[in-house]
Amino acid sequence: MGEEYLTRKEVAEYLKIGLNSADRIIRNKSFKGKIKIGRRILVIKSDLDNFIKQQTENNTFFNNAL
């Protein structure tokens, strides 16, 4: 079973947030679940889920960045 990858637009739709908020998550230095292919950035869905869970539990990223 392979990894599932999301574009920034798919991240925004998946999390029900705007593109700017999705970009902030993707650019966050502590978020390591992205790969760059040329100019395109793809997000590893399982890493995104883990990041959101961790940030929600710690209540850090969303209070400071969104």
Query: Does any domain span residue 54?
Result: yes
Query: Does any domain span residue 21?
Result: yes
> Tens digit of pLDDT for each residue in 4-58?
999 999 999 999 999 999 999 999 999 999 999 999 999 999 999 999 998 888 8
- Exposure string over 46-59, b if 16+ CB within 10 A, otherwise e: eebeebbeebeeee
pLDDT of residue 58: 80
**Closest C-alpha to 51, from 11, 20, 18:** 11
What is the domain range of residue 35? Answer: 5-60
Separation CA 40–CA 52 (nearest Å):
22
Query: Does any domain span residue 36?
Result: yes
Domains of the chain: total: 1
Query: Does any domain span residue 66?
Result: no
Q: Is the Cβ–Cβ distance between 6 and 43 less than 8 Å?
A: yes
pLDDT of residue 26: 95
Query: Does any domain span residue 46?
Result: yes
pLDDT of residue 49: 96
Query: Does any domain span residue 34?
Result: yes
Q: Which letter does DSSP use for residue 21 in this model?
A: H
The CATH number of the domain holding residue 55 is 3.90.105
Query: Does any domain span residue 65?
Result: no
